[in-house]
Structure 1
Amino acid sequence: MSATPPTIRFIMLGGFLGAGKTTAIGRLAWHYQSQGLKVGIVTNDQATDLVDTQSLRAQGFEVGEVPGACFCCNFNALTKTVADLSADERPDVILAEPVGSCTDLVATVIRPLQQLFAAHFDVAPYGVLLKPSHGGRILRNDARAGFSPQAAYIFRKQLEEADFIVINRVDQLPPAEVEELTRLLNSAYPGTPVLRTSAQSGEGFPALVELVDQKGRFGQRKMELDYDVYAAGEAELGWLNSSLKISSNELIDLDRLLMEIVTTLEASFRELNVETAHLKTIGLADGVYAVANLVSSFSAPELSLPSKAKVREAQVIVNARVATLPAVLTEQVAAALEKVFLQHRATLHVQQTQSFQPGRPVPTHRLEPSPQ
């Protein structure tokens, strides 16, 4: 009789759009690989052509993608994607990144894995990364948060269901702001551990690893959720994923190109007075890649992963989550791309553009905490 294979450690990190989940998951993946463990990553989006997937693959990780719906509404695709990653070489650890506008993930993903797939998965405590740029304003009930009460409702519910909360990007924040965010979180979610870290620099990262590696009964917090408000909050955002190829007879500075795309769109969204939840673009060429992003209308564009490369051809993907209609978003992105590439005298070939508003969430499973 063959021995039962060991369970796979399943680690999911949630958080709002632009919270830094991909960077944190990449750092965790490097950590576990350095311990000699095999790591698989599963990303998630409402559509295909996800910057996060390409970024993680460019770093050499095995990545499966669940497109077309969130993990909760496409649970069977999540388990199938994990199985596909296991087909060639069974991973010891799976790191999962859910859609940044989703909540209720404990009831619809964590508990189904715990209760229906206990023989296959050892589920880690569920952590949620706090996005300081929008988070501070929402926690203070600041009307300048940039989103409707329905979208802010999703943000708060993400934090409410967490086993622990991570204040991310602390290296970019004044100490007084970190202290204030900690106080606001402790007041709003008493009893939930709050960590401080920077997924980018690694500051505070050992504490995150220590918490994620804990064993025990997690996902036991019961949360009430109004799916009408949830659906309205998700529908506030227009989503766009666009994939294109560029070519030029002259060398193009890839980092500068991506930053110009982001800054041009930032100015366009500011003129329209619409809030950016997350804008991210990646350029890939000849074994090099770069990523630039914008996480809010009151944050500066950032070259989060520089390439320091000059290229004549590149694959470029743009992901935009903005509080406007999809048709408006499509028009603004197309105009920005045309303007930037014209300045670089580059030829642009759009391969695919998907633009839409997310539909109402309909989970595959929604389970209550298991009996003690």
Structure 2
Amino acid sequence: MTHQIKFIMVGGFLGAGKTTTLGRLAKYYSDQGLNVGVVTNDQASDLVDTNTLRSQGLHVGEVAGACFCCHFDALMETIEELGSKSKPDVILAEPVGSCTDLVATVIQPIKRLFDAEFSIHPYAVLMKPSHGKKILKNEKGSGFSPKAAYILKKQLEEADVILVNRIDELAAEDVDELTALVDEHFPGTPVLRTSALTGEGFEALVEFLEQDGDFGSKILDIDYDIYAEGEAELGWLNSSVRVTSENVFSLDQLLLDVISQLQISFKEKGVETAHLKVIGLWEGFYGVVNLISNDSAPKLSLPSDCTVNELDLIVNARVACDPEALTEQVTHVLQHCAKTLNANLEFRQTQSFRPGRPVPTHRYASPQ
């Protein structure tokens, strides 16, 4: 029988927990003796996600510059490159957190054009509690306009299974409320309760993903004008900086200081954080800190537990504001934190922009 690669894509809004989920899935399949490849995706280069997953010893390819749907050929080329040494048994794909319509533009093209090479497994989409609850309840003050909220809803609509994630951060009654909201809005779609961080609910997720069936078949009725305008409301920034000092300092504390100062700045400007990630790298050690909304607390998701006098710092910010203002705020905070440490900064690369209109390479209006 021809060797088929398991293709598993995990979607969800910015900050939903996709990278942590993929890292846990990669470890599970690797522990089963399978060759695993991971493909990350972003509108720009210098991804915290890519560096985080590679630091875990995983084989990671990156599709940068546009989403999977608009760079479909680059996605397939990246998968081929991951298999250049040993053919992967499993490909785990993490699409851009502001993208949707991925069944019609990614999964269906793989089914039709590469059917003999891949077996399509259920498309799991993570529900982000902090913004998802407000958006599904139509509460004012979600931090995003109706056009940006439209994207989150469409992401959940095309899922084969919806994961109510981050349950380790929620009270039981809040998890019940979120599950009921998802059931109300997307009746018939299976719902699992998970914590990508602790692994709670993970066995049920793996069991679901291993099912056979006609998955990846929910073609959306979607308005690309609303979709494009919703994406364009977010400012994106990826910045890499070298930090050096004559004195040693805590790598993790610097990451927390940077993200905490950025949170204060965003609140003062009245702009909502979709997702903010900062990673510090030094000689094989790394720490990662996240912020998933203005109302949540910064989280040191991967501590390095080390002191350094130099490191490489990468900031990925997705914020509902003008890209130039976002660059100004990030630069100011980094300079302030460096001054506090009596450290020098060397800005190596900074990209900031609004995503352009999605133009998929392929789009199939009906499932195969």
**TM-score of Structure 1 vs Structure 2, range by shorter chain:** over 0.9
- Residue 173 of structure 1: aligned partner: 170
- Residue 295 of structure 2: aligned partner: 298
Deviation by residue 1:128-171 (Cα, 9 ceiling, x = unmatched): 00000000000110011110000000000000000110000001
Counterparts of residues 55-74 of structure 1 (less than 5 Å): 55-74=52-71
- Residue 34 of structure 2: aligned partner: 37
Residue identity opposite 1:260 in structure 2: D
Structure 2 residue 120 is the aligned partner of structure 1 residue 135: no
Q: Distance in 2 between matches of 1:48 and 1:176?
A: 40
Q: Distance in 1 between matches of 2:342 and 2:249?
A: 9
Counterparts of residues 224-303 of structure 1 (less than 5 Å): 224-303=221-300
Q: Matched residue of 1:73: which SS?
A: coil
- Residue 18 of structure 2: aligned partner: 21
Q: Matched residue of 2:271: which SS?
A: coil
Conservation of the 8 A alpha-carbon contact between 1:115 and 1:370? no
- Residue 156 of structure 1: aligned partner: 153
Q: Distance in 2 between matches of 1:273 and 1:41?
A: 36
Equivalent in 322, 325, 339 of residue 342 of structure 1: 339
Residue identity opposite 1:80 in structure 2: E
Q: Distance in 1 between matches of 2:278 and 2:144?
A: 22
Q: Distance in 1 between matches of 2:264 and 2:138?
A: 26
**Identical pairs, percent:** 60
- Residue 87 of structure 2: aligned partner: 90
- Residue 147 of structure 1: aligned partner: 144
Structure 2 residue 169 is the aligned partner of structure 1 residue 188: no
Unmatched tracts of structure 1, length 5 or more: none
Conservation of the 8 A alpha-carbon contact between 1:108 and 1:365? yes
Q: Matched residue of 2:69: which SS?
A: helix
Q: Distance in 2 between matches of 1:359 and 1:5?
A: 39
Q: Distance in 2 between matches of 1:253 and 1:222?
A: 48
Q: What RMSD in Å do the two structures reach over aligned CA positions? A: 0.8
Q: Matched residue of 2:62: which SS?
A: strand
Residue identity opposite 1:336 in structure 2: V
Q: Matched residue of 1:71: which SS?
A: coil
State the shift of 1:18 in Å: 0.2
Residue identity opposite 1:291 in structure 2: V
Q: Distance in 2 between matches of 1:161 and 1:172?
A: 26
- Residue 4 of structure 2: aligned partner: 7
State the shift of 1:10 in Å: 0.6
Structure 2 residue 72 is the aligned partner of structure 1 residue 75: yes
Q: Matched residue of 1:159: which SS?
A: helix
Structure 2 residue 330 is the aligned partner of structure 1 residue 333: yes
- Residue 197 of structure 2: aligned partner: 200
TM-score (norm 1): 0.98
Residue identity opposite 2:28 in structure 1: H
Q: Distance in 1 between matches of 2:14 and 2:76?
A: 23
Deviation by residue 1:18-56 (Cα, 9 ceiling, x = unmatched): 000000000000000000001000000000000000000
Deviation by residue 1:264-287 (Cα, 9 ceiling, x = unmatched): 000000000000000000001011
Q: Matched residue of 2:141: which SS?
A: helix
Q: Matched residue of 2:92: which SS?
A: strand
State the shift of 1:252 in Å: 1.5
Q: Distance in 1 between matches of 2:122 and 2:109?
A: 14
Q: Matched residue of 1:44: which SS?
A: strand
Residue identity opposite 2:7 in structure 1: F
Q: Distance in 1 between matches of 2:268 and 2:154?
A: 31
Q: Matched residue of 2:198: which SS?
A: coil
State the shift of 1:332 in Å: 0.2
Q: Matched residue of 2:276: which SS?
A: strand
Q: Distance in 1 between matches of 2:198 and 2:219?
A: 34
Equivalent in 214, 217, 226 of residue 217 of structure 1: 214
State the shift of 1:222 in Å: 2.7
Residue identity opposite 2:240 in structure 1: S
Q: Distance in 1 between matches of 2:293 and 2:203?
A: 28
Deviation by residue 1:309-356 (Cα, 9 ceiling, x = unmatched): 101111110000000000000000000000001101111101000000
Residue identity opposite 1:176 in structure 2: E
Unmatched tracts of structure 2, length 5 or more: none
TM-score (norm 2): 0.99
Q: Distance in 2 between matches of 1:313 and 1:57?
A: 20
Conservation of the 8 A alpha-carbon contact between 1:283 and 1:315? yes
Q: Distance in 1 between matches of 2:75 and 2:2?
A: 20
- Residue 51 of structure 2: aligned partner: 54
